[in-house]
Amino acid sequence: MSQILRDARKYEELMEKKLAKQERPEFHLSARIGWMNDPNGFSFYKGKYHLFYQYNPYASHWGSIHWAHAVSQDLLHWEQFPAALAPDNDYDRDGCFSGSAVTMEDGRHLLMYTGVSKEMQPEGEMKDIQSQCIAIGDGIDYEKHPRNPILHKEHLPEGGSPYDFRDPKLWREEDGSFFCVIGNCDKEKDGQILLYSSKDGIDWKYEKILIKNHGRFGKMWECPDFFSLDGKQVLLVSPQDMLPQGFEYHNGNGTLCLIGTYDKETKTFTEEHNQAIDYGIDFYAPQTVLAKDGRRIMIGWMQNWDSCGGNSEERAWFGQMSLPRELSIKNGKLYQQPIRELENMHGTQVKYENITFTDILKLDHIKGRKVDMELSIHSANTENIYRKFAVRFAQNEKFQTSISFRPYESTLKIDRKFSGSRRAIIHQRRSFVKNEAGEIKLRLILDHFSVEVFVNDGEQVLSATIYTDLAADNISFFADGIVTMNVVKYDII
Ligand code: FRU
């Protein structure tokens, strides 16, 4: 083990002890210490889920990128393991960027990641060279392969950029063969996803460009994932530099899925539908795992590059993962539900049925910052539909965050402007939800510093971090017009 990795392991163990548990999310994985971005190496290995992540132990901003490592039985209670990878070789001295994991034929755990090293280019410019590397281990310690990097500029298609060549996502086919998809861009800096194959996970061969952006969704495509789901094939990507498209896609770093079919013989992906993955503020670079019981489970980084400016350097950790979500396809569209294991953490139920109200409403026992609450809303009067419904939470005299639905405008809005943020980052986002009769179902999951809203049984999700003082724990409702509502609420314990 290198000195750089040994130092990181010593440092994280020491520093973690200084952090109070209540200053963290409870059931969302957060940076052990320092900085966290993308989920990496999400896999089921030796009877447990393993999740690695982009990690700078030494500061709560992006920097010297290692791979942190966490392990869980239920995807909600995580144990932090020692850091798995450090930037300690020539080919990865400027960072061990994102990647993935699978189990090898002999039972060892294979990690594939992007090694970054800054090199002087012929035009006299220093640039990141990105290549793919592997490390093999036992679920705790990993050894980088002597033949690294195993995929580099020689393995790119004509015009493929060696500066933007990252984030391999591995999988194994039924016959045992290995495949991976990697993010890349062409001469025009337009995103494309490359496909590679291998017999043993070590010797890799370029197959083809699986799909090109053709200027539709942003520029460089980061963090691909590619898998079958409910008879369809899904490609997840996180494009940079997006332009907005209605309420579907927003400016900046976005995440989307392309749903279609895949012909394994000819390795041809045919697109049928595209859709945003999260309509909130903080979500990026999701990765999936196939659970033992066949569920396809996705976790994303519950932050976004465009809103990281909200971070305060005083906090010793920064970065959380989203709640793991079960994916499915209905009518050709992606649906997401909180993993069902969350129900094992439910406290006593609080239930209200057919509450009809106007203006502001508070309900006994409806409060808290670790909550799973489902609201079913409709207009009390079918002739005269209410104009606005809102639920406000993480609330006290000074602070609040809200979700509001305006049936006449077909918009659902998340607003954290009054959450205590002192930076001019994005605080609001809207999504398109059509129901002129005013019927909507909202499942809100609060965990200290975040909210995730699952709309209409997983048709949409909106995620946002809120670093509001934990003393702000009220929840209240608002109606402009007359609303009838059912509430089912659990504390998470
Ligand atoms: C996405 C990303 C990846 C890269 C990593 C670096 O958030 O930019 O493309 O591998 O972060 O930390």
pLDDT digits (tens, 9 = 90+) for 425-434: 999 999 999 9
pLDDT confidence tier of residue 118, bands split at 50, 70 and 90: very high
How far, in Å, is the centroid of ligand 1 from the Cα of 200?
A: 26
Is the pLDDT at 21 greater than 80? The verdict is: no
pLDDT above 80 (res 22): no
Atom of ligand 1 nearest to the CA of 99: 10
- CA-to-CA separations, 183 to 154, 193, 304, in angstroms, rounded: 16, 5, 18
What is the pLDDT confidence band of residue 379, given thresholds at 50, 70 and 90?
very high
pTM confidence score:
0.97
Q: Compute the mean pLDDT over every residue in the chain, rounded to the nearest whole number.
A: 97
Share of the chain above pLDDT 70, in %: 100
Judge contact between 191 and 247, C-beta under 8 A: no
258-314 pLDDT tens trace: 999 999 999 999 999 999 999 999 999 999 999 999 999 999 999 999 988 777 777
- The Cα–Cα gap between 259 and 270 comes to 8
Copy the structure tokens of residue 288.
């999936």
pLDDT score of 182: 99
Residues β-bridged to residue 385: none
| pLDDT score recorded for residue 310 | 73
pLDDT in tens, 231-243: 999 999 999 999 9
**Protein residue closest via CA to atom 9 of ligand 1:** 222
Distances (CA, A) of 151 to 133, 185, 205, 324: 7, 16, 8, 30
Q: Is 293 exposed, middle or buried (0-12, 13-18, 19+ CB in 10 A)?
A: exposed
For the stretch 144-155, pLDDT in tens is 999 999 999 999
State the distance between the two ends of the chain, measured CA to CA, in whole angstroms.
39
How many Cβ atoms sit within 10 Å of the Cβ of residue 209?
16
pLDDT in tens, 54-101: 999 999 999 999 999 999 999 999 999 999 999 999 999 999 999 999
Q: How far is the CA of 97 from the centre of ligand 1 (A)?
A: 6
CA distances from 29 to 65, 179, 369, 463 (A): 18, 28, 16, 15
Rounding to the nearest 10 degrees, give the CA dihedral for residues 219, 225, 229, 234.
Answer: 20
- Cα–ligand 1 centroid distance for 412 (angstroms): 30
Active site amino acids: 38
| pLDDT higher than threshold 80 for residue 334 | yes
Residue 305 CA: nearest ligand 1 atom is: 7
Residue 309 pLDDT: 78
Q: How confident is the model at residue 23 (pLDDT cuts 50, 70, 90)?
A: confident
CA 56 to ligand 1 center in whole angstroms: 13
Q: Which two tokens stand for residue 71?
A: 């392990």
Atom 6 of ligand 1 has which residue's CA nearest to it?
97
Q: Give mean pLDDT, residues 156-178.
A: 98
Measured in Å, residue 462 CA sits from the centre of ligand 1 at 22
Question: Phi and psi at residue 113, in whole multiples of 5°?
Answer: -140, 170
Atom of ligand 1 nearest to the CA of 97: 10
Beta strand segments in 417-466, E: 428-432, 440-447, 450-455, 460-465
Predicted pLDDT at 157: 98
Burial level of 220, CB count in 10 A (0-12/13-18/19+)? buried
Question: Which residue minimizes the CA distance to atom 12 of ligand 1?
Answer: 97
Pocket test for ligand 1, best of 98, 283, 308 (most atoms within 8 A of CB): 98
Q: Ligand 1: residues within 6 Å at CB?
A: 37-38, 54, 65, 97-98, 114, 166-167, 222-223, 284-285
Is the pLDDT score of 108 beyond 90?
yes
